[in-house]
Amino acid sequence: MTGGGLLVAGTTSDAGKSVVTAGICRWLVRQGVKVAPFKAQNMSLNSFVTREGAEIGRAQAMQAQACRVEPTALMNPVLLKPGGEQSSQVVLLGKPVGELSARGYHGGRQQRLMGTVLDCLAELRGTYDAVICEGAGSPAEINLRRTDIVNMGIARNAGLPVLVVGDIDRGGVFASFFGTVALLSPEDQAHIAGFLVNKFRGDVSLLEPGLDMLHGLTGRRTYGVLPFRHGLGIDEEDGLRVSLRGTVRESNVSPPVGEDVLRVAVCAIPLMSNFTDVDALAAEPGVVVRFVDRPEELADADLVVVPGTRGTVRALEWLRERGLADALRDRAAAHRPVLGICGGFQVLGEHIEDDVESRRGHVEGLGILPVRVRFAREKTLTRPEGEALGEHVTGYEIHHGVADVRGGDPFLDGCRVGQTWGTHWHGSLESDGFRRAFLREVAAAAGRRFVPAADTSFAALREEQLDRLGDLIEEHADTDALWRLIESGAPQGLPFIPPGAPA
């Protein structure tokens, strides 16, 4: 027996597809439904390693947590990791299979992956009561429809109803809803069941006449109006496109436990990957996190984090161009705390041999840590466990660079020299005991009277966040109608809205 399904599409990127998918998943699992997430193709620099050693998008790992199931490669069979404006690494079923230009991928490779994608979805639907799928971008990208495997291509091949999410906070949501439907072929339109409004502020009664008119124009109803809520930011997908300068990760705003706050500056290096590593820092009361791109912005920071990147050599060049390289060396010499994670760890080393990622050969690093890095063609994808600062630590590794550590004190398979720390481990700061011990070391080195909260649980905060998403769906969507869609598909007899897709 095949389980039910639903595809959550959006009028644009960042309309809220990931959040809505996670919310529907959490609502369903609280109703006793065995549910799984699915995204056929994801473009993201924020990824995660499953227990079987497969790399998938962090958004799908988070959605699996919303479902209370272990994430697997089936949930995100195709992952594209941008290496610049024109090319991406293609990760298929959790393993890298090569680099392709956008033209090469959309020119034929993508369409050949449809069979793999449909097999993964069918396996999930054979195992779970329901599979909630997430689309990508907009389903009305008419230039890409012929090779589409993530929006209407998957909906039609798998017989899925489609719920279109629109971000009303951006404006123009009615035009976006109508235009999305009107640019689809009659066959595609038959799968568009209706709409969901996201991030609404104000009195819903003022919106209802517009929703009625939209129903009259399209023959499709609106399944809910989700109010705007602060603090619901989840693991972002596209670190290449989103500008992070000056932003602070969303977290609970709580006063510091000690007398001082702790200021963390994250270098916003090019092709930044897994910047979600700093979420656990931002969740600590009294820790202030910001992303920076100028050396003077490091001056008042108690801790500087150099995060992961899909372009280690490019990040080195950027740090030097911006004057941040000298600022980092000065900090290290003054024994002011610096933490390098993955690519950020690699740039702090003595030199890099890269014939894989940038193909630049020998490149001098910043020389802060006694480490030499050689890029291997095989990617390391593991879930390590260990101990640091007297605390148990878990993490995950995603990197081509192999580190030859030639000195310093051991630190999570990397090293520490003075107050400069480097590791390939992502996610280590989510280990509560280790994070608190690390922050105590940072505070002492910075001369801050900062005290980590004794009871901050990052896992519990993430669960609370997922429950809030589930609450949004339960309280502000027509859940009975949503379940009918999941169980029975799109309503029959939905009208065609001209002009339809161009020939």
One-letter amino acid at 156 equals R
Q: Residue 95 forms beta bridges with which residues?
A: 92
d(CA 428, CA 234): 18
Buried b (16+ CB within 10 A) or exposed e, 40-50: bbbbbbbbbbb
Token code pair at residue 369:
């840590």
Token code pair at residue 28:
């369903």
Neighbours of 447 (CB within 10 A): 10
Using CB atoms within 10 Å of the CB of residue 294, give its burial: 0 to 12 exposed, 13 to 18 middle, 19+ buried: middle
Q: Which of 409, 410, 414 is nearest to 397 (CA)?
A: 414
Listing DSSP states for 158-187 in one string gives HT--EEEEEEGGGS-HHHHHHHHHHTS-HH
One-letter amino acid at 327 equals A
Residue that the structure tokens 């399904």 belong to: 5
Catalytic residues: 342, 426
Q: Which of 311, 329, 217, 219 is nearest to 269 (CA)?
A: 311
